[in-house]
A and B are shown apart, each in its own frame.
Chain A
Amino acid sequence: MEITKEIISNLLDGRLADSDVEQLQRMHEKDADRFWKYLEVLQERVQWNDKILLRLTDHLYIVRNGNGARVVKCDCGHEFGDYRVNWKIASRVRVRRTAEEFKEVYTPDQAIPEPGWMTIREYFCPGCAAQLAVEVVPPGYPPIFDLLPDLDRLYRELGRPLEDESEDWFRDRTMDVVANFRR
């Protein structure tokens, strides 16, 4: 089964037939060039020209921007900053703390988290208000850095090393930014 860009596109749009999905799921070995085709399909869909290095969520990408920096960018165009910083700390946050607030997004009523024990955090893009992530965590829990990719390692393993390869690119720099809060 050849995995074409059209198939990837249909998957992205939720239009691939279940039987075809099952065929993909049952492949004995995954197609090795999926990543490159995937990037091409994604690049064709965004309105901006920055080169996509990796997709993180439905809306968020790591791109090389016009200044050559590797940043997290929303498909609406909003930039969050260096991808080594948890993008959540550059988003807008709505935190739900009460039962009434919980019931607006959790159903049925009996299944809502317990106020005081848990909060619901919704992370929005400042640019387009898309809901990018949800965390249901106790008060005071630091935002979870879902994925810090080792981009250089990925590209090297796939045979196309990035030109600015450096060990420094696989380092969590979230605290560098947080340290500047309140200053």
Chain B
Amino acid sequence: MKTSLLELVEQRDRLTEETGKYYGVHELTLKENDPVKYERFYSRLHATMVAAYEVSRYVTASPGAREMGEVLWGLLTPEGDALAISAGFFSHINSGKYAIRFMAEHHYDQNPGIRDGDVFVTDDGESGGAPHPGDTYTYVPIMVGDELVAWAMGINHIMEAGAPIAGSWPGFAVDTFMDGFVVPPIKTGENLRQFTWWEQMWLRRTRAGTLNNLDDKMRLAGCAMIHREIHKIISEFGLDYYKRAIREIIEESRQMITDNVRRTMVPGRYDGAAFRAVKYKGLQSIWEHADKDQIISIRQRLVVNGDGTIDAYHDGSSHWDYHAWNGYPGGADVAFYLSMINNFAYNTKPTSAVSWVMKTHYPKHSIYNPGVNVASFSNIWAQSMALNSIGFNSVNRGRFAIGYLEESFQAEGDWEGIQGAGVLPDGTPYGVTNFENVGGTAMGAFCFRDGQPIAWAEWTQLANIGNAEEFEYLIPATFYLGRKLLPDFFGHGKYRGGPGQAILHWVVRPGELYLSRGGAGVAYCTFVAQGMSGAYPAPANFHISARGTNIYDLISAGKPVPRDGIELIQMAEEGTLKVDQLDIWRYDMPPIRLQDGDLVATCNGSSGGWGDPIERDPNLVLDDVCQGWLQPDTAKKVYGVVLEKTNEGWTIDQELTTVLRKSIYKKRLDDSVPFEEFWEEERNLLLTHNIIEPVRYMYTHTVSEIYDFDKEVKEFWQLPEDFSW
């Protein structure tokens, strides 16, 4: 290469930091001199990305990639900044910075060398910027002569990662050596073809080798299309134009994002928190250091500066630990920038510029920046989506304060995944990840209307839970008895959250099958801690397994069968469905053996409300009851609305509703205490160590760098200087 990769990266950093403009671009000269040519140039780049997306998924792909679009293609600068992307899960727009920097710092341009059409792959957190090993990247360098001018990038969420716990989000891992098939950026091919040994790696080190190879070829097919088109575009526009334009595109984007922050946010400090349960105590006896329950604490302070930049501090977050839920800075960034891109890059070209406007600060040794390379990152997504959500809600609070009410809602993205491995009756081994509940979750309430079910997925523009039939024929042995919304399953408020969804799977002649759960929140700990303006945040996910059932008898006799987890529990309690072993998993379901006739239910993806539930229009409550979203008992106890059932259906008892709501207001004052009194009570809890071990452990394992969270906690409760948790 004419210039070393490290020199390119260092030059980009220096020019940007010294000038405050991306790559030192002070003026958008190409855009201003000939805007038509400039926009035509950009359109060609963008069209290439979209074409890669639309075509390669039908050349070869797993159902996760094809059905739900858990994919992204991008065109990167030589230093790894994205300047054009396809549709898909767009927050991976910034991962290239980490992978390319790693390659630069380790002199890949010298050994093994970087040549036009080479193929590099990574799914590592520290070196590749991957959130988890399920997110796999392909990078293809594009050279003109001996000059590196671009990278084509393809990323998708693969079907199985080859870890001890099957799936792509293992819920148990002690360290990175249990993360599965993890590779730092590694050269896997040349001339747009993979080396033959690379295909064998997926086949021999993962449980879904065929599907993973389909995805690997899909990513490369998309990159090959990009590679071909970029060469054409450079020939058409000229190399000099190309090299200048790619800088202006990102600088243009940076300027607009900065303007959007300044115009739509209230400068100041926004604090957010989220929590996640780790239920590892008693799961195994080999790794003593992983044999504990704990709460992961996620803490974020978003500081919106008056100049349009944002700093995100994560002091007070948990120290990394021996569990599956750590991440590395690149992967944490993938989560964090979801909300930032959604909110501030909506009217500009999607580029890596967002990372120059918002800066993340992850304390060293925290769960987002372990400072060691052995921390497991199998399922960072289980808690980093909460990280994204609290950032999103900070922005939403700012929008509400300044008056852009149409942008003010409760953001939560409590996704769900079921995964596992098995051997078919004919002896064929397989691994599975069911993505459907990654494809969509409920959207939270706005400050002026209710939330909606399965309406969005924070991580992609294309909320789509896919066709049930696709999963039935490609994921062996589990069929659908139900796929529906779950009544009462949302955060209550003046405007309620969107209901979460419920799926009931039926295990049919599985051979040998183990399933586990790999989603985000768990009922033990509410996913996002703060409700909006007095509403409740969303209830988190839970699961039910029913082993040893008489489902076949019910079907043969034409009797009703359950359609979701709650109906399953009710039928089991009534005795209409016989269940030998019923488990309600309010934390991650570990791998369980499933046999013919067993049932597995997921309940997930709900969202929070907005405003005081007592202020909800009784007519809206009535509508919800009539539509089946709300139980009449809930209408009464939470919303203070008394409904009567008549021959014509439900009606509101206006008089009793008024009386009940007044009594609820009175009960609030009767049941509550002045804050100082509560403070005394809570302080005493701490002084007498009257908290359970997972909570105590959480407080002893927060990490801070910029401001001392632990000190703040102790000062807040006026704990003695020598206090130990």
Residues of A within 8 A of B (CB): 8, 11-14, 16, 18, 21, 24-25, 28-30, 32, 34-35, 37-39, 54-59, 88-95, 104-108, 110-114, 116-118, 120, 122-124, 126, 128-142, 144-151, 153-154, 156-157, 170, 172, 174-175, 178-179, 181-182
Residue numbers in A under 8 Å from B269 (CB-CB): 145, 147-148, 150, 172
Stretch at the interface among B214-222, B362-370, B484-492: B484-492
B226 at the interface (CB under 8 A from A): no
Contact B531 A117 (CB under 8 A): no
Contact B668 A129 (CB under 8 A): yes
Residue numbers in B under 8 Å from A110 (CB-CB): 523, 542, 544, 565-566, 569, 584, 586, 603
- A21-B406 CB under 8 A given contacts A107-B489, A124-B669, A172-B269: yes
Contact B539 A142 (CB under 8 A): no
Stretch at the interface among B17-25, B326-334, B421-429, B692-700: B692-700
Contact B267 A153 (CB under 8 A): yes
User: Would you give the shortest CB distance from B125 to chain A, in whole angstroms?
Assistant: 27
Contact B447 A58 (CB under 8 A): yes
Besides A135-B530, A150-B268, 5 other CB < 8 A contacts? A34-B402, A39-B403, A59-B612, A139-B686, A142-B712
Contact B672 A59 (CB under 8 A): no
The complex places the Cα of A21 from the Cα of B406 at a distance, in Å, of 6
The complex places the Cα of A179 from the Cα of B539 at a distance, in Å, of 35
Beta-carbon nearest neighbor of A134 in chain B: B531
The complex places the Cα of A117 from the Cα of B713 at a distance, in Å, of 17
B691 at the interface (CB under 8 A from A): yes
Contact B698 A111 (CB under 8 A): no
Contact B397 A147 (CB under 8 A): yes
Residue numbers in B under 8 Å from A179 (CB-CB): 715, 718
Contact B695 A147 (CB under 8 A): no
B576 at the interface (CB under 8 A from A): no
Residue numbers in B under 8 Å from A148 (CB-CB): 268-270
Stretch at the interface among B28-36, B168-176, B674-682: B674-682
Contact B534 A107 (CB under 8 A): no
The A-contacting residues of B in range 476-497, CB under 8 angstroms, are 486-489, 492, 494-495
The complex places the Cα of A140 from the Cα of B487 at a distance, in Å, of 33
Contact B266 A154 (CB under 8 A): yes
Contact B525 A118 (CB under 8 A): yes
B614 at the interface (CB under 8 A from A): yes
Stretch at the interface among B78-86, B182-190, B205-213, B271-279: B271-279
User: Would you give the shortest CB distance from A140 to chain B, in whole angstroms?
Assistant: 5
The complex places the Cα of A113 from the Cα of B698 at a distance, in Å, of 17
Residue numbers in B under 8 Å from A122 (CB-CB): 668, 672
The complex places the Cα of A124 from the Cα of B259 at a distance, in Å, of 37
The complex places the Cα of A2 from the Cα of B499 at a distance, in Å, of 34
Determine the main DSSP class of B at the interface with A.
mixed
The complex places the Cα of A151 from the Cα of B263 at a distance, in Å, of 14
Residue numbers in B under 8 Å from A178 (CB-CB): 679, 715-716, 718
B614-632 vs A, CB cutoff 8 Å, 1 = contact: the mask equals: 1100000000000000010
Contact A144 B275 (CB under 8 A): no
B191 at the interface (CB under 8 A from A): no
Residue numbers in B under 8 Å from A25 (CB-CB): 406-407
Contact A107 B634 (CB under 8 A): yes
Contact B612 A146 (CB under 8 A): no
Contact A16 B448 (CB under 8 A): yes
B637 at the interface (CB under 8 A from A): yes
The complex places the Cα of A77 from the Cα of B420 at a distance, in Å, of 57
Beta-carbon nearest neighbor of B487 in chain A: A108
Residue numbers in B under 8 Å from A11 (CB-CB): 405-406, 448
- A147-B268 CB under 8 A given contacts A21-B406, A111-B523, A111-B542: yes
- A131-B262 CB under 8 A given contacts A90-B675, A91-B675, A108-B488: no
Complex partner residue of B401 from A55, A112, A124, A132, CB under 8 angstroms: A55
The complex places the Cα of A37 from the Cα of B449 at a distance, in Å, of 21
Contact A140 B717 (CB under 8 A): yes
B576-619 vs A, CB cutoff 8 Å, 1 = contact: the mask equals: 00000000101000000000000000010010001111110000
Contact A93 B678 (CB under 8 A): yes
The complex places the Cα of A148 from the Cα of B698 at a distance, in Å, of 26
User: Would you give the shortest CB distance from B663 to chain A, in whole angstroms?
Assistant: 11
Contact A93 B673 (CB under 8 A): yes
Residue numbers in A under 8 Å from B402 (CB-CB): 34-35, 38, 154
Contact B295 A117 (CB under 8 A): yes
Beta-carbon nearest neighbor of B675 in chain A: A89
User: Would you give the shortest CB distance from B288 to chain A, in whole angstroms?
Assistant: 23
The complex places the Cα of A153 from the Cα of B307 at a distance, in Å, of 10
Complex partner residue of A8 from B405, B487, B532, B615, CB under 8 angstroms: B405
User: Would you give the shortest CB distance from B519 to chain A, in whole angstroms?
Assistant: 13
Contact B675 A117 (CB under 8 A): no
Complex partner residue of B295 from A89, A138, A182, CB under 8 angstroms: A138
Beta-carbon nearest neighbor of B693 in chain A: A116
Residue numbers in A under 8 Å from B665 (CB-CB): 128-129
